[in-house]
Amino acid sequence: MLVDTSVLLRTLQPQHPLYALTDRSIEHLLTQGRELHIVAQNLIELWIVATRSLAQNGLGMTPAAGAGELARIKSMFAFLPETPAIYPIWETLVIHHNVTGKRAHDARLVAAMQAHGLTSILTFAATGFSRYAGIEVVHPAAGMQQDQVLAPQHFHSAFLEFHRVAASGHRQERGRIPPRRRTRPARSCRRPYRLA
């Protein structure tokens, strides 16, 4: 399963109303044994929004902060490589589906998914992907029980504690997550999820 940039961006925003849902959804999918992936297109889109000014509907991060978030995201999910097969698939998709404007970014994610044999995407933006046959669009709330989503203040305090420890100069071990969460055994093709 590919994780869409709309979901990745919520992991950067602990005050956002969808932060808690995003966290629980990712944890829920991993508990079910789903493999979660990202591609270069995700990271490019994330960088654009993260470093764009607040006045232009971005997150206003500095390039240094953006670089830290790229590293964090790459440590959380399996990062699939760019391949020469992606472009011809993308070209076929945009022509066949009459894709215009910004929707071409979504088509490129679908092309990367097809090149890597992925058939589902975790996204808040279902309309951008529903036109493509063979792609299962999964909203983060799908399959979640109401009690599986904690109040945002619990996540924010864990987020602050994680960054307090990180700022104190103590590097956390790869795969180590804030104490509020239980650790899952790492699988060879999945990096442990950690929302920080």
Please check the confidence at residue 90 and state whether its pLDDT lies above 80. Answer: yes
Q: Which of 63-67, 113-117, 182-186 is predicted with the least confidence, judged by mean pLDDT?
A: 182-186
Q: What pLDDT, in 10s, does the model give residues 38-77? A: 999 999 999 999 999 999 999 999 999 999 999 999 999 9
User: Which CATH superfamily hosts domain 2-167?
Assistant: 5'-nuclease (3.40.50.1010)
Angle at which helix 40-51 crosses helix 63-76, to 10 degrees, equals: 150
Please check the confidence at residue 130 and state whether its pLDDT lies above 80. Answer: yes
pTM above 0.95, yes or no: no
Nearest 5°: phi and psi at 3? -100, 120
Measure the CA angle with vertex 174, ends 168 and 178; round to 5°.
Answer: 60
Dmax (CA) for the chain in angstroms is 53
Q: What pLDDT, in 10s, does the model give residues 144-155? A: 654 444 444 444
What are the tokens at 82?
């760019």
pLDDT of residue 145: 57
121 and 139 Cβ atoms separated by less than 8 Å: no
Q: Which of 75-84, 133-142, 184-193 is predicted with the least confidence, judged by mean pLDDT?
A: 184-193
Domain map (residue ranges) of the chain: 2-167
pLDDT, greater one: 164 or 102: 102
How high is the mean pLDDT of the chain? 80
Angstrom CA distances, 137 to 89, 104, 109, 140, 195, stand at 19, 17, 12, 10, 22
pLDDT, greater one: 189 or 138: 138
